[in-house]
Amino acid sequence: MAKLTVFFFFSLIISSSLAFQSDELLVDDDEFGLEGAKPQSSSSSSPTTIRKRYSDPDLDSKVQFTLEHAFGDSDFSPAGTFSARLKSWSHGGKTLTKLRFSRNGFSDQEKHTFNNLLKGDDFYRIRLPSNVISPPGKEFVVASVRARCLPRDGLDEHFVIHMEGANILAVSYGSLGACQYPRQFKLPAKWSFNSHTILKSSEQAPRTPIFTEEIVGGENAEGEVEPPPERSFWAKYWMYLIPLGLVVMNAVTQATNMAEEQTGGQAGGSQVQQSARRR
Amino acid sequence: MAMAIRVCLLLLVFLSSAIVSFSLYEDQVGLMDWHQRYIGKVKHAVFHTQKTGRKRVIVSTEENVVASLDLRHGEIFWRHVLGTKDAIDGVDIALGKYVITLSSQGSMLRAWNLPDGQMVWETSLHSAQSSKSLLSVPINLKADKDYPILVFGGGYLHAVSAIDGEVLWKKDFTAEGFEVQRVLQPPESSVIYVLGFLHSSEAVVYQIDSKTGEVVAQKSMVFPGGFSGEISSVSSDKVVVLDSTRSILVTIGFLDGDISFHKTPISDLVEDSGNAEILSPLLSDMLAVKVSKRTMFVRVGGEGKLEVVDSLSDETAMSDSLPVADDQVAFASVHHEGSKIHLMVKLVDDLDTVLLRESIQMDQHRGRVHKVFINNYIKTDRSNGFRALIVMEDHSLLLLQQGAIVWSREEGLASVTDVTTAELPVEKDGVSVAKVEHTLVDWLKGHVLKLKGSLLLASPEDVAAIQEMRMQSSGRSKLTRDHNGFRKLFIALTRAGKLFALHTGDGRIVWSMLLNSPSKSEACERPSGISLYQWQVPHHHAMDENPSVLVVGRCGSDSSAPGVLSLVDVYTGKEISSSDIGHSVVQVMPLPFTDSTEQRLHLIADTEGHVHLYPKTSEALSIFQREFQNVYWYTVEGDDGIIRGHAMKSSCAGETADEYCFTTRELWTVVFPSESEKIISTLTRKPNEVVHTQAKVSTDQDVLYKYVSRNLLFVATVSPKGAGEIGSVTPEESALVVYLIDTITGRILHRLSHQGCQGPVHAVFSENWVVYHYFNLRAHKYEVTVVEIYDQSRAENKNVWKLVLGKHNLTAPISSYSRPEMFTKSQSYFFAQSVKTIAVTSTAKGITSKQLLIGTIGDQILALDKRFVDPRRTLNPSQAEKEEGIIPLTDSLPIIPQSYITHSLKVEGLRGIVTAPAKLESTTHVFAYGVDLFYTRLAPSKTYDSLTDDFSYALLLITIVALVAAIYITWVISEKRELSEKWR
């Protein structure tokens, strides 16, 4: 498949008749996020390390938005903070990079409520603002999971945040691995979150390949109306040849019989019988 | 010996004739398919009776069809389906030979040749603003050998030549905002009077020279109260209009260019005053006014004096007036009485003179009479006869003459909104099969004929006989279930709220039922059907129950209007029960559970966010309670760009609640930013689709597992700018993004953006793939993209040892809360045609390969093998891939003319395609609806599991007999010869 794409692009490059299309490689923000802060740093909201500074800091700005959670049908309350760099592109687009997450640990009260959730196999719900620049934007983006899916050793959580510019389209929330269906009641060994975060933006569809003239010609000769491979004469016409052979044989034996009948030959009769039985 | 040779020859012949033909031959048309042509609910009808031997009527309909019908039999002589946005405003006949239609809000004028419907000319008229439109074809107006047609629309008054469609002159009224109401032409004058309103408070009369378009005189007069817009012209110099309070009738006289008003309060005419309404019929010197459910005839006297002469009950339909002999004018009225309708034709001048009084027995399921058009003819005894064309509530069109229904057309079927399928009853024991082949002789004769046909020996008469035999054979129009499942019923719900059951064999209407028949309760006067669901499909137990369908309706057009549920027995077409459910209907969700009588459980969501369980039985409730935790649903708010997921919460609280009402809670939301994305299409898999195997073995002995989930939602969004018509934006401004969303957790499983692409998106979702069609602005072509989703969590099961030792997870339950491990493959192709709808074939077990059924812009249906939209296609497939059936990649999808399943027919105004499996795995039913209906049976992988209809059993039998005989004879001969040799 990869080879094919390369081939398409090559064919696109060599065909100068095509309309102009920006060849700019959009930075793939896929899987650009990184895992959350230390599980133990319960309420410290600011990120501790920033690995790399961008060359033009005026175009970048820091944004923070809060994660809120709710237990079952309770109201939402703050549960953590995402902080990220908002990178403005020259063409006006904005993307979020370097996402960091600090999770607030559960208070005792919350632990108790969460225990109840686990018992009732109820929903643990989270929400994020739909716009990170001017929260909450149009709406909150909500996601839920059955509470029993979360506990492993600690509390495993996995965020996939789907971004469109500075807007959050949706967030997928759940445990990192599988959640077996008859969900077992299990208390977490440690009341600490093990958070993983992924930012995802939209993938560009590959351009539909346009085959240039000569390639189309070549393809046609090669692929589209390719003649079926030559089969041997025998393979093609065996079904006609066998009966024909039998007929000829019959005719021959008949002829010999005719000749032999006068001379009193013997072979004819048995031949006929054989050939008749063979059919 | 000679016998043996002959046998061989026979065998050869047999072998060569047994090479099965796969494509459709000319003589096979109509064997499995049928096509019905409709026109829709008639809006206008113009009779044409001048001299022409074959009487015909010209009609225009709400489906934007202009057609010429045979008055004797109701057949269509010709018809033209205009585009969906090209609504017909008026139709008339000019010069006695042209049908003139005005459409698109008065901006398109066309002339059609009356006898054959050829277009004679077409004129696009200048239109500056949207306004009401008016078509007037003056009968005896003549300007320099030309016959002008006067058209008002879009703020302009045009005079168009009837001969060639040239614009003779036009008058611009856009500046003043003048709305033309009537164009009147005094006889023997070249000046026309154009009467209209200015800001609906000032009456203006222009006198315009019909030759040049110059304004000869203009008079205007302000009416303090303002007009309500409804107008009725009663004579050549008077019109009557209602004032804005709808309580005063104003007679406007404009004799000799002077405008005069004459006010008559309605309360002077009748005691119980209310909001009045002027009915549309054009009656001379008389008008019909509807006041508080009664229709009154008001005669207009010489000085604008009004006088009530008659009144009728509400349910009366009236025709326009029709000149009859001796300068008299007649009109027809139709009213109901019990199961009969009464047609009366009266003289306008003298309402006591009834020219015709007829009573006709009318089917209850046609509802009320909506429209009447009358026409007169000279009877054999030289007296006047009348025939009436009536349009019923169910949109059907009937011709009444001599007290009988001469013909009827079920025009409701031109506006099918929802279709479902139903089985026919099982054949009862004791009821013998209607014998098709009566005796052995007939049977043999038939087969000899067939044999002749297949040996190309048949004469034309024989061919006709064979054709007829084929039509009759297999009893394809019987009303019982057959072994192959070829006979079925399609239940169609029409916009008029009528249910039709159509037989797949010949397309006839088995039964029909109007949901709002007059016998219904008054609580819900005019329920409109929304959708159709299979309520009860007994097939395992409860076999003695008849299957039934659920029709969900609404008491008004508003979405918060209370809903109506109606259960209809499929075998008999009788309504089992009907109930006002007392809450609104936003969404109906069939659940995958049935109760002991195989009634399917349905959830109905209302506007308040509650869901209601149906049927309301304790058994259903207990089934539902068991699965309470696992019921999820979602809503799409298209205007806000939000998709929400919900789960059940608890029973409703409050005094009005019952135990079948549940509250819900929001689980997830997907919020599309309003500045960059707008939802244009959402789609899910068909809930009853069968997937044969989850595994897909590729060429290199690798296994891919299809990600088969019922909870996937396909969503397509475009940039708000790009939501308009194709080409209205530049490629940089528009992007199309498609999503696959899990509706339990709200996870976005796949997201792909197509830059420079635009809707409309037509998509089809089946098994683990989505195919969608859109427009690529950069390439200036339509594109089709396929996305296939594969499950990776099961990918480790390839190891045979794991399978043997049972260490696989194939039987583990799947939870949506597990993190999905899946990957998608996609590929795009160009497609040369724009598309109206896409469907996919469905078969009983899902083994047969699939075909995409593409409803093209030409109203035909193209069958395209799914193999053409396979992301595994490559430019140079290896030998192994070729053997597997992978087609070399091309940049566009082929359109093979032979693969149009509609062959030479057109399904005019195609709106939808429905597929349903037959019992025979290879075969699928296809039903397409639009203005026309079309049905056919398809076998996407050929009929591999049955012999074709024209398979010659006789030939097979003869061959076998001949072979046996030959063997026996040769054996005898050889025995004899052996004996004689031994005796020698």
Q: Is pLDDT above 60 for B518?
A: no
CB B573 within 8 A of CB B512: yes
> Do residue A273 and residue B971 have CB atoms under 8 angstroms apart?
yes
Contacts of A173 in chain B (CB under 8 A): 745
Instruction: Convert the pLDDT of each residue in B165-207 to its tens digit.
Output: 888 888 888 777 777 877 777 767 778 888 888 777 788 888 8
Facing residue for A170 by CB, picked from B748, B812, B981: B748
Lowest mean pLDDT segment, chosen from B233-247, B605-619, B954-968: B233-247
Q: What is the pLDDT of residue B257?
A: 63
**How is residue B637 written in tokens?**
């708010």
> Do residue A170 and residue B671 have CB atoms under 8 angstroms apart?
yes
Q: CA of B407: how far to CAs of B48, B387, B396, B842, in Å? A: 18, 12, 11, 38
Q: Is pLDDT above 80 for B233?
A: no
> Phi and psi of B251, rounded to 5°?
-95, 120
Facing residue for B779 by CB, picked from A121, A145, A208: A208
Question: Which positions 75-104 of A are in contact with B (Cβ < 8 Å)?
Answer: none
Instruction: Convert the pLDDT of each residue in B519-530 to its tens digit.
Output: 455 556 666 777
Q: What is the pLDDT of residue A17?
A: 38
A74 interfaces chain B, CB cutoff of 8 Å: no
Contacts of B746 in chain A (CB under 8 A): 142-144, 170, 172
Q: What is the pLDDT of residue B966?
A: 96
Task: For B742, name the nearest residue in chain A, comparing CA atoms only.
Answer: A172
Instruction: Convert the pLDDT of each residue in B565-605 to its tens digit.
Output: 888 998 888 888 888 788 888 889 898 888 888 889 999 98
The pLDDT confidence band at residue A136, using thresholds 50, 70 and 90, is low
Reported as type and span, the H/E element at residue A78 is strand A77-88
Q: What is the mean pLDDT of residues A16-43?
A: 40
What is the 3-class SS of B701-718, one letter each residue?
Answer: CCEEEECCCCCEEEEEEE
Q: Of the candidates B476, B494, B463, which has an alpha carbon nearest to the alpha carbon of residue B396?
A: B494
Q: What is the mean pLDDT of residues B806-835?
A: 80
In whole angstroms, give the CA distance from residue B130 to residue B422: 46
Going by the DSSP 8-state scheme, the letter that residue A151 receives in this structure is: B
Instruction: Convert the pLDDT of each residue in A1-11 to its tens digit.
Output: 444 444 444 44
A249 interfaces chain B, CB cutoff of 8 Å: no
Q: What is the pLDDT of residue A222?
A: 43
Segments of B279-411 assigned E as strands: 286-291, 294-300, 306-313, 316-318, 322-324, 328-337, 340-347, 354-361, 369-378, 384-392, 397-401, 404-409
Describe the strand order of the beta sheet including B215-222 as a list of residue ranges.
Answer: B178-184, B191-198, B202-209, B215-222
**Cβ-proximal residues to B461 (8 Å cutoff; 6+ apart), any chain:** none
In whole angstroms, give the CA distance from residue A40 to residue B966: 95
| Pick among B674, B734, B819 to test the A interface (most A CBs inside 10 A) | B819
Instruction: Convert the pLDDT of each residue in B891-945 to its tens digit.
Output: 889 888 888 998 888 999 999 999 999 988 889 999 999 999 999 988 888 878 8
Q: Is pLDDT above 90 for A25?
A: no
Distance from CA of A102 to the nearest CA of B (A): 22
Contacts of B890 in chain A (CB under 8 A): 211, 219, 223-224
Instruction: Convert the pLDDT of each residue in B858-882 to its tens digit.
Output: 899 999 999 899 988 888 888 888 8
SS3 content of chain B, % helix, strand, coil (to 5): 15, 45, 40
Mean pLDDT, rounded, of chain B? 82
At B376 the three-state DSSP class reads: strand
Instruction: Convert the pLDDT of each residue in B111-147 to its tens digit.
Output: 999 888 899 999 988 777 777 778 887 776 666 677 7
At B953 the three-state DSSP class reads: helix
CB A237 within 8 A of CB B12: no
Q: Which of residues A90 and A112 earns the better pLDDT score?
A: A112
Instruction: Convert the pLDDT of each residue in B881-902 to its tens digit.
Output: 888 888 888 888 988 888 899 8
Q: What is the pLDDT of residue B138?
A: 75
Taking CA B834 as the corner, what is the angle to CA B828 and CA B840, rounded to the nearest 5 degrees? 65
Contacts of A132 in chain B (CB under 8 A): none
Q: Is pLDDT above 70 for A23?
A: no
The pLDDT confidence band at residue B428, using thresholds 50, 70 and 90, is low
Q: What is the pLDDT of residue A147?
A: 85
pTM of the model: 0.81
A120 interfaces chain B, CB cutoff of 8 Å: no
Contacts of B981 in chain A (CB under 8 A): 266, 269
Q: Is pLDDT above 50 for B731?
A: yes
Q: What is the pLDDT of residue B564?
A: 84
Q: What is the mean pLDDT of residues B653-677?
A: 83
Q: What is the mean pLDDT of residues B725-729?
A: 81
Chain A with chain B: Cβ pairs closer than 8 A: 210
Q: Is pLDDT above 70 for B950?
A: no
The pLDDT confidence band at residue A219, using thresholds 50, 70 and 90, is very low
Q: What is the pLDDT of residue B794?
A: 72
Facing residue for A174 by CB, picked from B645, B817, B889: B817
Helices B953-983 & B440-454 angle (0-180, nearest 10): 90
The pLDDT confidence band at residue A55, using thresholds 50, 70 and 90, is very low
Q: Which of residues B531 and A92 earns the better pLDDT score?
A: B531
Contacts of B774 in chain A (CB under 8 A): none
Burial of B972 (0-12, 13-18, 19+ CB in 10 A): exposed
Q: Which of residues A264 and A71 earns the better pLDDT score?
A: A71
Q: What is the pLDDT of residue A44?
A: 33
**How is residue B556 written in tokens?**
């008004």
Percentage of chain B modeled with pLDDT above 90: 19
Q: Is pLDDT above 90 for B237?
A: no
The pLDDT confidence band at residue B643, using thresholds 50, 70 and 90, is very high
Q: What is the pLDDT of residue B785?
A: 93
Q: What is the pLDDT of residue B413?
A: 92
Q: Which of residues B855 and A189 earns the better pLDDT score?
A: B855
Q: Dmax over Cα atoms in chain A, in whole Å?
A: 120
Q: What is the mean pLDDT of residues A232-253?
A: 86
Q: CA of B656: how far to CAs of B583, B607, B611, B628, B652, in Å? A: 11, 15, 14, 22, 9
Instruction: Convert the pLDDT of each residue in B70-113 to its tens digit.
Output: 888 889 989 999 888 888 888 888 887 888 999 888 888 999 99
Instruction: Convert the pLDDT of each residue in B461-517 to its tens digit.
Output: 777 777 776 666 556 677 888 888 888 899 999 988 889 999 988 888 989 888 765
In whole angstroms, give the CA distance from residue B771 to residue B591: 26
Task: For A131, name the nearest residue in chain B, comparing CA atoms only.
Answer: B673
Q: Is pLDDT above 70 for B659?
A: yes
> Do residue B11 and residue A243 have CB atoms under 8 angstroms apart?
yes
Task: For A123, name the nearest residue in chain B, comparing CA atoms only.
Answer: B667
Q: What sign for the dihedral angle of Cα B93, B99, B105, B108?
A: negative
Q: What is the pLDDT of residue B525?
A: 60
Lowest mean pLDDT segment, chosen from A29-43, B237-251, B343-357, B536-550: A29-43
Q: What is the pLDDT of residue A163?
A: 86
Q: Which residue has the tokens 């604008």?
A: B304
Lowest mean pLDDT segment, chosen from A99-113, A187-201, B130-144, B421-435: B421-435
Instruction: Convert the pLDDT of each residue in B256-304 to its tens digit.
Output: 667 778 777 777 777 666 677 777 666 667 777 777 777 777 777 766 6
